[in-house]
Amino acid sequence: MRLFVAIALPQDLRDRLEGLRDGLPGAKWVAAENLHLTLRFIGEADGGECHDIDAALAGLRFESFPLQIEGLGHFGEGRRLRALWAGVAPNPDLERLQGKIERALQSAGMEPSKRKYKPHVTLARFKSGPGPRLHSFIAAHGLFRAAPFEVTEFTLFSSYLAQQGAIYTPELSYPLEPRKAPLDARLE
């Protein structure tokens, strides 16, 4: 199974992100039900490894926290443009949760992640770049900012590459603990 750990996004947020789809020739937009925020890509895992991954994730303790999607960016430039994404407002809780997941998976025997973590929600992928239109798209929509939502769990997804594109299936979810500190205190 090909696996990754991610935060599933609420329906209203996915609807808002879907509303950005407009005017980018060559963009292959990610289906609304597939929009997610990856915490850790795992890759292929066999039965025994899946068991160890589940045990490592289930043992993790972390409090719920708010998260806000804002801004747009891209990976690659010009003809090497690969992806357009929505970003995340600076979020120390997200960084800490990601770090905990990384350490838990390493103690379950996984190799350390090679890439530095860059939180993003991939909106579209490109085979041939949209040229200068990307910059006007980002100029038009770059101030995108969604309402914050409460992250109350994270999810182990499987990814299956079908003919019509990737199909992501939530396999197991790991609830976070109820938040103790009030929201106001955390936003200060």
Minimal distance, residue 4 CB to ligand 2AM, in Å: 4
Binds ligand 2AM (CB under 6 A): choice among 32, 50, 60, 83: 83
63/158 with CB nearer ligand 2AM: 158
* 117 binds ligand 2AM per the rule CB under 6 A: no
Binding mask 14-53 for ligand 2AM (x = CB under 6 A): ------------------------x--x------------
DSSP-assigned letters across all residues of 30-93? PPGGG-EEEEEEEEE--HHHHHHHHHHHHT---B-EEE-EEEEEEES-GGG--EEEEEE---HH
Identify whether 120 is a catalytic site residue: yes
The CA distance from 181 to 70, in Å, is 24
Supply φ then ψ for residue 77, to 5 degrees.
Answer: -130, 150
Binds ligand 2AM (CB under 6 A): choice among 159, 167, 174, 179: 159
Nearest to 150 by CA among 24, 10, 50, 46: 10
Beta bridge partners of residue 4, listed in sequence order = 41, 157
* 122 binds ligand 2AM per the rule CB under 6 A: yes
2/133 with CB nearer ligand 2AM: 2
Residues classed as catalytic = 36, 120
